[in-house]
Amino acid sequence: GNKSINAKLVLLGDVGAGKSSLVLRFVKGQFVEFQESTIGAAFFSQTLAVNDATVKFEIWDTAGQERYHSLAPMYYRGAAAAIIVYDISNQASFERAKKWVQELQAQGNPNMVMALAGNKADLVDARKVTAEEAQVYAQENGLFFMETSAKTAANVNDIFFEIAKRLPRV
């Protein structure tokens, strides 16, 4: 039969990497050039049907600012999945993403499905982080990797779909 799965998912990553934009694209199919920055965290839910299951994502979009860092465990604790987002045109955001991965590996649910999103893939001319180095990093650290664009919608549904496929079937 078709299983119904509730999955808490958290987005983590540097301010401006595009976390809120990815959620807006996934949940509402929209993009705005001047996305307001997130205060604290925002909650969304979206249902996705995969082959054998219907997954209801309970999505926590976090702020990313250092001053909210101490709140992050509230959002990633008990999470079934995380998307760690960086901006392919910003090397510092990639370094910040690695810090989040380390923190999740140390403090998060050991069975968490972790995705690394190299967002703003449309900004090819401004690229600072190659897909190859991100892929190698992801592979070495047990994440799966995709480059996404909240602006063009490239790989946005796909990354959530891939997470849904990887969630444990209870």
Q: Which of 5, 12, 23, 38 contacts Mg ion by CB under 5 A? A: 38
* Among ligand GDP, Mg ion, none, partner that 33 touches (CB below 5 to 8 angstroms by kind): ligand GDP
Q: For ligand GDP, which is the closer residue by CB, 50 or 148?
A: 148
Among residue numbers 51 through 70, which ones bind Mg ion (CB under 5 A)?
A: none
Tell me how far apart the alpha carbons of residues 123 and 135 are, in angstroms, rounded to a whole number: 18
Name which of 100, 128, 7, 123 is nearest 60 in CA terms. 7
Q: Is residue 20 at the binding interface for Mg ion, with CB under 5 A as the rule? A: yes
Q: For ligand GDP, which is the closer residue by CB, 17 or 50?
A: 17
Sheet with 41-50, side-by-side order of all strands: 41-50, 53-62, 3-13, 81-87, 113-119, 144-147
Distances from the Cα of 63 to the Cα of 11, 31, 139, 142, 143, angstroms? 9, 18, 26, 24, 22
Radius of gyration, alpha carbons of the chain:
15
* Among ligand GDP, Mg ion, none, partner that 120 touches (CB below 5 to 8 angstroms by kind): ligand GDP
Tell me how far apart the alpha carbons of residues 112 and 90 are, in angstroms, rounded to a whole number: 26
* Among Mg ion, ligand GDP, none, partner that 150 touches (CB below 5 to 8 angstroms by kind): ligand GDP
Collapsing DSSP to helix, strand or coil, 115 comes out as strand
Return residues touching ligand GDP (CB under 6 A): 13, 15-21, 32-35, 37-38, 64, 119-120, 122-123, 149-151
Q: For ligand GDP, which is the closer residue by CB, 35 or 109?
A: 35
- Closest distance between ligand GDP and the C-beta of residue 112, in Å? 20
